[in-house]
Structures are given as C-alpha cells and as structure tokens.
Amino acid sequence: MRNKSIQFSAFDLKTWRERFIRIVLRVASILGVIMISASFSTATNTDRVLFIVMYIILLAITLLPTGYTLRAYLLLIITTIVGVNAVLAWGPWADGSLFLLSTVVMATLLLDNKIDFVLLAGSILFLITLGLLSLHGVFDVRSPQAPPLDLASWGVYIADFSILGIIIISATNMLKSAFTKVVTQMQTAFEALDMERKNLEHKVQERTTELETRMSQLRASALTAGVIAETQEITELLNKAASLISERFEYYHVGIFILDAQRRNVYLQSASSEIGKSLIGRSFHAEPDRKNPLAVVVETNKTLITSDLDRTNFTQDPNFPLTRSRMILPLSVRGTVIGLIDIHSDQPRAFSSEEAEIIQTLADLTAISFDNARLLDETRNLLTQLESNTALQTQRTWSKFTSRHKSAYLYTPAGVRPIFARDKQTNADDLYVPVSLHGQEIGRIKLKKRKGISNEWSERERDLVEKISYQVALALENSRLVDEAQKNALRNQMVANFSTFVRETLNIEEVVRSAATELRKVFDLKEAEILISTLSPQQSEQDS
C-alpha cells in the first residue's frame, strides 16, 4: 500500500506526456523508414528531399537529448507538413486529411495552450484557400483516380473536416479534463490515505514506545522488587529501595519516611541524592495539614502527583529547587500507613498513572518487607532475651542444685566414687570437655588415658566426647526436672493432706493445735508456734 501510494503521488501529466511523445517518436521513426521506402520510387525529387530532411529531424529529436517543448512542436510541424504535402499531391480525398487531424489530436494531448484549435483553424483555412485556388484553376489538386472537384464537393469536404476536427478536439479535451479531475481526486484520496497511514504509523510508534517504556519499567520494577525482598536488615532495605528506584527509574531524588510508634511524627530514614542524605533524620508532624503534601498522603493513604504546571497543588520544596514534578506514595501494611516514598523529578509532568501504579507496587512491597524485617528484629530480640533469661535461670538453678549435691564423680578401675574436693592441677594430656546447658557451663568432663596408650586425642574422639557431654547435660536437666516435679508433687500432697486434716474439726483451739503439730512434723522443726492476735508480734512481746 505504501509503495503504490508513493508511485501514484509521483504521477503528473508532464511525465506522462514525455513518455507518450517518446513512444510516438520511436514508432514514427520505425514507420517512417517503411513509408519512405514504399513511396520513394513514385515520389518526385522534391518529395524525396523533403521526406529525407524530415526523417533526419525526426531521428534527431528521437535520439538526441532534446527538450519536451521543442520535440512536441517539431513533431507537430513534421506531421502538418506530411499532411499538407499529401493534400497538395493527391487531393483532399487522400490520407492527407488523416495527418492533419492526427496533428490536431496530438496537439490536444501534448500541449495545453490551445495549439489544437490553432492547428484546426489553420488546417481549415488551408483547405478553403486550396479549394478556392482549385476552383479558379490556379492550382490543380485533383488526383487522376478522384472524381472532379466542384464547389459542392469542396464545401462538403471542408465541412466534414471541420465537424470531425471539432468533435475530436472537444472529445479529447473533455476526456483530458475528466482524466485530470479523476487523477486529482485519486491523488487527493491517496494523499489523504497516506496522511492517515502516517498518522497511524505515528500512533503505532507512540504506542510502541509507550509499551517499550512500560516493559522497561516493569523489568526495573521486577529487579528492584527481587533485591528488596531479599533484604532483611531494615536500614539496608530502605537504602536499597531508595537508591534502586532512583537509579532504575531515573529520578534525581527519592526519599523514604517512616512514622514513629505513636504516629505523631514522620522521619526521613533514607535518600538517594546527596542533598537528601544530608537531611536524614528530619521530621515533620503527621497531623492533618493541607499545605504539606506529605501530611496529606498520611491522612488520605492515597498517591499524590503534582507538577509545577499545576500551580494550585504544587508546593516547591526549598531543599530541592530543581523539582518540577513530585510523586508521594504511601507505605501501607494492612491498610495502615507506616511511611512514605517521596519522589522528585526535574521534568514537567514526569509521572503518569501507569507509572504511579508500578511504583505503588514497589512501595507496597517495600512496606511489607519493612514490616517483616521489623517483626523479624523484634523476634530476634525476644529470642535473645529469652535465651539470656534461660541461661541466667539455668546458672542460678544449677548453682543452687550443686550446692546441695555432690559436685563430682570419679571413675576408676575400682569403681565410681564421689569427689568432695576438686583437683585444681591440670595435665596437658588430659581431655577437658564442658557440660553445657543453654549456653551455660554446668559441669565438666575430664578424661585421662591409661598408661602405655597414646596420649593424643583425635578429632573423632573429641567429637564423640562432645556429643556424650551434650547428652549428659540433657540427662542431668531431665533428672533435675523430674526431681523437682516429684518434690512439687510431694509438697502439693502435703499441703492437701494438711488442709484436709485441719478442716476436720470446727474448734478453733483444735485447729490451731493441729496446725502447729503438723507443721512441726512436716518440716521436722524444733518448735512451731501459731499466734492468733490482731497485734503485731513486736507489740505482743512488749505486752507480755
């Protein structure tokens, strides 16, 4: 469609006429040889010279580079001379009239300056003059085979020639006019189609560019999202989010704000530009304020896009004088705003709704990653505190436990016996492995090889002893817990029995006497005293 449109738009009448006259000249050059050869034997010397001269001229304008106008006029002159010569030699009934009419038709097709009417009028005037001269006997043009020419014959001939010439000229001009009109209309239609095609190509190009930009943004968003999702440390996460959004979307400043726990203030935590990094820690109140776009986003939980072309909504930040477009997106988790992403561009109307959707997806991912990292930090802190408390409790429990029990046992060929005093001497050949529980050392295993055996301990032996040490620690802890559970059960049973025994009587003295007796028995006491009085023990002693 495009090639056809270009070829048709290149068409014009002048080009067509140049091609047409070249074809006519080539055909005339070929047929001229045949005509001269056929009539050369019967022609007069004058005709022979005339035909040769005209043929040479015809060959010259056919083969040599000649202007179009000169070629057209010389072709018309040659055709006219041939026609006039035929009429003079053979009379009006020969083929001279055809040459004269052909001259008129070619003048209509090749030229626009009314030459066809001039040639037709000249041909008619020539025939009238020739007829008058023939009727007065001045010039005889009658062919021996033709009938005699009188006034009526000449009149009919000239009238027929004139009518036929006018019809041919009129029809040719009408056809040429209609053809020119159709060509103009087609040319206009094709120009309109070509313009529409160009508009469609321009729209397709714009759409393609827009899609390429969108795909580029989606790829940048996917890569950025992957990096953000892999980061678990809060500070590193925010710094990466700000720098990657600025770098891959070509924004000259990206800042990330986080609300405090009371949701009263918003603090700048990370920035991509040098100016923004110098402002880290800056805060503003999160209270509703229509003049502060950051506070508006915190209040509405919606993306805000402004440009310096919108004077009513745009607020210039004095720290970023190059900003011409600004987009602020909320960082939301479960519908609650926890922070903001503040993006600045030095281009007017740099943010589209599609781009805002992509960046909002990144903002949501950043908010979720931030919340997960915060929860992970809190969990780690709780685990650390729990481990510290467990370790401290383990140390206290086992310190108390070992103070009431034998602290060590020694295995010898004679058997296992307790050790009451620790041997503070150390031997380099002995293997010492700590018995650890919850990160606290609650004991130690000391191994000594027999004499005659290599004193070096292999890694396999050390690993085995360490595993045994771990199992020993677990067994000791389980044993302690069982012992403690049994004591608690016994204590609870004793309390239950004591409570039952005391409740068997309703006499106050019996209750007190029974309670004192049972307390002395349970705890194996020397004395057990129960005092029933509203006074303090000190006051009772003073009174007594």
Distances (CA, A) of 137 to 88, 91, 150, 305, 412: 14, 14, 11, 105, 173
pTM of the predicted model, to two decimals? Answer: 0.48
pLDDT digits (tens, 9 = 90+) for 81-138: 888 888 887 777 777 888 888 888 888 888 877 888 888 888 889 888 888 887 777 7
Helices 151-230 and 96-110 cross at an angle (nearest 10°) of: 30
Eight-state DSSP code of residue 310? -
pLDDT in tens for each of the 544 residues of the chain? 444 444 444 456 788 888 888 898 888 888 888 888 877 777 778 878 888 888 888 888 888 888 888 888 898 898 888 888 888 877 777 778 888 888 888 888 888 778 888 888 888 898 888 888 877 777 666 555 555 667 887 888 888 888 888 888 888 888 888 888 887 888 888 888 889 989 998 888 888 877 777 777 677 777 777 777 777 788 888 888 888 888 888 888 999 898 887 778 888 888 988 888 888 888 877 677 777 888 888 888 888 888 888 766 777 788 888 888 888 889 888 888 888 989 898 888 888 888 888 888 888 888 888 888 888 888 888 887 887 777 777 777 777 766 665 566 666 666 666 666 566 666 666 777 888 777 777 777 777 777 656 667 888 888 888 888 888 878 877 877 887 788 788 777 777 777 776 676 666 777 777 777 777 776 667 777 777 766 555 555 555 4
Query: Three-class SS string for 18-80?
Result: HHHHHHHHHHHHHHHHHHHHHHCCCCCHHHHHHHHHHHHHHHHHHHCCCCHHHHHHHHHHHHH
Per-domain residue ranges of the chain: 2-195, 232-379, 405-482, 505-543
The domain made up of 232-379 has a fold known as Beta-Lactamase (3.30.450)
Contact 408, 418 (CB under 8 A): yes
pLDDT digits (tens, 9 = 90+) for 212-248: 777 776 777 777 777 777 777 888 888 888 888 888 8
45 by Cβ neighbours in 10 Å (0-12 / 13-18 / 19+) ranks as exposed
Which two structure tokens, joined as six digits, stand for 326? 């600004």
Task: Give the list of residues 6+ apart from residue 248 with CB closer than 8 angstroms, or none.
Answer: 220, 223, 224
Q: How far is CA 355 from the centre of its chain?
A: 9
